[in-house]
Chains A and B, each alone.
Chain A
Amino acid sequence: MDGSNEKKPVLIIGGGFSGVSAAIEIMESSEKSVVIVEKNPYIGGRVLQMYKYFPKLCPPFCGFEINLRRIKLNEYGRIRFITSSEIEDIRKEDGSYKVKVRRKPQYINDNCTICGDCVDACPETRLNDFNYDMDSQKAIYLPNFFAYPAKYVIDDEACKLISCKKCMTVCRYDAINLEAKEEFYNLDVESVILATGWRPYDANNLTKLGFGRYKNVITNVMMERLSADSGPTGGEIIRPSDNKTVNRIAFVQCAGSRDENHLPYCSSICCMASLKQALYVREKNPDSEASIFYIDLRTPGKYEKFLNRASSDEKIKLIKGKVANITEESSSGDLILEVEDMLSSKKVKFKAEMVVLATGMVPNAPSNLKTGSLKLSFDENGFLFFQDGNEGIFSAGVAKNPMDVNQSIQSATAGALSVLQYSFNKRGQNG
C-alpha cells in the first residue's frame, strides 16, 4: 500500500437529500472529494416532489437551495455528480473499490440555457413521472422547475431521435446531440455510502382499496404533487375524475403498511404526512372536511404538537379504525369507505369525494441496485440496517430504515463521520 487511498474519493450512491447532505458534510469537514452517482437526471430525489415539509409546513426547496449553495461555495471542485447513471459493478481490490458506472446517453450538453425553444418544437409527449404520471409533458423536458444540473433532458423512449430532429434545428446554442451514446466511467474509491432511498409502495396491489380502478383514489405522494404549485393542477386540490374541488376528503392510514400481505413494517412518516396534508387541504379550502382513518396515530416526540395542531381543527376528524374496503358510487364518482369505528364498535360506511391512501416506503435497494461482488447485508424487508464498518461500506437515509427528512439528514451526517473515521483508521494502519 502506498497510502494513496486517502486521496481516493468517497462514492455516494444516490443524490437525494441524504446523499447530498452526506457529500457536503464530508467535503466541509475534510479534504476528501466525493462522487455522487444519481439515477435521475437531477439531484434532490424525493424531497423535490414534496409540496411542504412537516412539521413546519415549509417548502422543501428552501432547505435544498441552501444545500445547493453549499455545493457551489466549494471552490476546489471536490464534488462530482454523475446523473442519469447507475452502478454497473463494484469490486473490492487492493483495499479500495473499483466502480463501473453506466450513464445514459447525454443528448443535451452544458450549453443548454433552458430557453425552452426545443419544447415548443417537440412533437412527442411522455407521462410526467415527476408528477406520478398524473399529467404529460414533451419528450424533451425540464425534469422539475428546480432541476440541478439545470438543463433539459430527452426521454429516448418517447423521442424519435435522429429521425425527427425538430429540437436540434431550433436550438440556438448547439446544445443537442441526438446521436449521443451510453457512457461508462471507471472510478476508484476509498469507501461507499449507500443513500439509495425509497419508492412508494405500489398501490395497485391494494385491490380492496380500489387504487387503479377508481380515479379518485390517489396515494399520499400523488397528493403532494396535486397540492404543489408546480404540480399538474397548479396547486389546486381538485379530484382526477371531474376536476371538482374536493370538499370531503378521506385519508386511509396504513394502506398496505404493517400488513403481512404487503409491507409488514411501519414507514413511520405516513401519519405525519396525512396530518400535514389534511392541514393544507383545510388551508386551501376552508369549506372542506378531512377525515383520517387510522389504526393508531404515530406522532412520536415533539411531533405530538403537530397532532394537537391538526386535531384542534374541528373539521379534521380522526377516526380509529382501518379502512378495509372501498367501492365507488358510479353516478357521482364518490367513494364509499367501509370501516369498523373502534370507539363506537360499529361498522360504518363513509362517503368521501376523494381518498388518499397513505402508502409506505419501499427501499430501492436491493432490487433496483446492481452492486457486483459487493457484500451488503439487508434486513428481511430490504433495508441496509447493519453494515460492517470495517469494510468501508456505509448507509444513510431511508436505505437504512424508514425515516423522515429530518432523520435522514442526521443519518447522512452520521454516515459522513463514519467515512472519515474509516479513512483515518486506514491511514493509521498504513502509515
Chain B
Amino acid sequence: MTNNELNPDAGFIELIKNIGGDSFDNSFKKCFQCGTCSVVCPLTHDEKPFPRKEMILTGWGLKDKLVGSLDPWLCYYCGKCSENCPRKANPAELMMSLRRWLITVYDWTGISKLLYKSKLAEFVFLFIIAIVVFFEWILLFGLFPNSGNGSLNQIIPPDKIDLFFDWPMTAILSILLISFIFNMYYKTILSDKNLKIPIKLYISELWALIFNFFTQYKYSKCENDPEPFLKKLFSGKYNYWLIHWFLMTSYVSLFVAIVFFLYWFQTDYTSDLHVFLYDYYASIGLLGGLIYFTIRRIVKKVERSKFSHHTDWTFIILLFLTALTGVILRIVIVYKVPIPWIFYLYLIHMMILMPMLIVEVPFSKWSHLAYRPVAVYLSNLRDKANLQDRDRAE
C-alpha cells in the first residue's frame, strides 16, 4: 500500500460519532475546511496543523492516517476551535473523541474497545473485579474481624495487602500499560519507515517527558491571550491547569506511597511530612479537585466540560469514592475507632479501589496520565529528527 492510497472506512465515522458528544452528529458534514480551528489553536504546530486536518480525515473515514497520529494527544481541549468554528462543527470534541478512540487502538487486548462501546460492559467488568476482591479478602482475613485480640496490623497485615493486592495489581497493570505505550510508539514512530530518530535524541529529549509529566505545562499555554502571567493567574485563567495539576500530584504521591510504604498508613504514628503530604495535601487535592471537575461537567459552561462520555463519569466517580473511603479509613485509623469499623471500611475501600485501578489505568481515561507526556515526548522527537534531516539535506 502506498502512502497516497485512500481507504475510507464508513464504520470508523460511525464509531467516532458514537464515542463523541451528542451535538456531534453532523459535524463532519458541517465542516467546510476553512481552517479557523487551526489558526485559533494555541498549541498546534505551523506545519500540518490540527484540528482542521483531523476533521477531514475523520469525515472521510481515513482511519489509517489517524492511527499513527500523535496530534490528538497534543490537544488539551481549551475549546477555542469549537467556540470560533463558523459551522459549529465542534473540532475540540472530535480531538477528545480521537483520544478516546486511540486508547482503544493502543490496547491490543480489546477490553477498552468494549468499555468505550458499552456502559453495561463497563459496569459488569467493574462488578466482577469487586466480587473477586471480596472473596480474596474473605480467604485472607475472614468475613468477621477477630476483634478480641490484636491491633489492626495483626488482623490486616500490610505485607499481606501488598503481596495479594497491591503488588500483583501494580505489576500486571504496569506490564499492560507499558505494552500499550510500546504499541503507541510502534504505531506512531516505528511504523514510519522514513523516520530515523538518533539514540542521542531519545536521551536528550527525556527531560521533556519528565517536565511535561510533572508540570502539565501545556495546559497553561491554552490561555494565549497577551496578558502577563500574574494577571492570568489572579483572574482564574489558570485554575483548570492548577487544579488538574494539584489532583494529579495528589494522586501520584498517594499511589506511590501506598504501593511501597503501606505501613505508613496503617498506623496512627505519623511524621510531619506524612501528615502534610498525605493527610492534607493529597486528601484535599483528590477530593477538592474531583468536586471541581464534577461541578464543571454538570454546569457545562466551557467547551471542555460540555460533553461527558460514560467513561469520563465512571473515572471521576470511582476515583472520588476511592479517595473518600480512603480518607475516612485514614481518619478512623488515626482516631482508633473500634476494629470492626475499620475492617469493613477497609474492605469497601478495596472493593472500589481495585476495580477503579484495574479498569481505568490501562483501559480507560486514567491512561492519559501516561499517554499524554509520552506523546508530547515522541512528537518532540519526531519534529527534531525531521528538522535535523532537513538541515542535513540543505
Contacts and interface: CB of A to CB of B under 8 A. Distances in A.
Contacts of A340: 35, 38-39, 49, 52
B32 A258 contact: yes
The range of chain B's interface size is: 20 to 34
B52 A346 contact: no
Interface stretch (B58-66, B83-91, B274-282): B83-91
Interface stretch (B40-48, B203-211, B286-294, B342-350): B40-48
Nearest to A344: B47
B40 A295 contact: no
A342 interface: yes
Given A324-B35, A339-B39, A340-B52, 12 more contacts: A258-B86, A258-B87, A260-B87, A260-B88, A261-B86, A324-B40, A325-B39, A340-B35, A342-B33, A342-B35, A346-B48, A346-B49
Nearest to A260: B88
Interface in A323-342: 323-325, 338-340, 342
A339 B35 CA distance: 7
Nearest to A262: B86
Contacts of B69: none
A327 to B, nearest CB: 9
A325 B40 contact: yes
Task: Give the one of B34, B39, B52 with max A CB within 10 A.
Answer: B34
B86 A321 contact: no
Contact of B32 (A208, A295, A325, A345): A295
Contacts of A346: 46-49
A172 B365 CA distance: 86
A324 B84 contact: yes
27 contacts: A208-B40, A254-B86, A260-B86, A260-B87, A260-B88, A261-B86, A295-B32, A295-B33, A295-B34, A322-B36, A322-B39, A323-B39, A324-B34, A324-B40, A324-B84, A325-B40, A338-B39, A339-B39, A340-B35, A340-B49, A340-B52, A342-B35, A345-B48, A346-B47, A346-B49, A347-B38, A347-B45
| The 8 A-B residue pairs with the shortest CB-CB distance in the complex, in nearest-first order | A340-B35, A324-B39, A322-B34, A259-B86, A324-B36, A340-B38, A347-B46, A295-B34
Task: Give the one of A254, A261, A340 with max B CB within 10 A.
Answer: A340
Interface in A236-281: 254, 258-262
B53 interface: yes
A323 B35 CA distance: 8
Contacts of A295: 32-34
A352 B386 CA distance: 31
Contacts, number: 61
B224 to A, nearest CB: 11
Contacts of A260: 85-88
Interface secondary structure of B, over-half rule = loop
B223 to A, nearest CB: 16
A345 B53 contact: yes
A113 to B, nearest CB: 52
Nearest to A325: B39
Interface of B: 32-36, 38-40, 44-49, 52-53, 84-88
Contacts of B53: 345
Contact of B47 (A208, A262, A345): A345
A347 B35 CA distance: 9
B26 to A, nearest CB: 12
A428 B162 CA distance: 99
Contacts of B35: 321-322, 324, 339-340, 342
B34 A321 contact: yes
A270 B380 CA distance: 42
Contacts of B52: 340
Contacts of A342: 33, 35
Contacts of B88: 260
A342 B33 CA distance: 8
Contacts of A325: 39-40
Given A254-B34, A258-B32, A322-B34, A347 B39 contact: yes
A347 B49 contact: yes
Contacts of A259: 86-87
A323 to B, nearest CB: 8
Contacts of B46: 346-347
A254 B38 CA distance: 17
B222 to A, nearest CB: 16
Nearest to A346: B47
Contacts of B87: 258-260
B84 to A, nearest CB: 7
Contacts of B38: 340, 347
B88 to A, nearest CB: 5
Nearest to B35: A340
A319 to B, nearest CB: 11
Contacts of B36: 322, 324
Task: Give the one of B32, B48, B86 with max A CB within 10 A.
Answer: B86
Nearest to A323: B39
Nearest to B46: A347
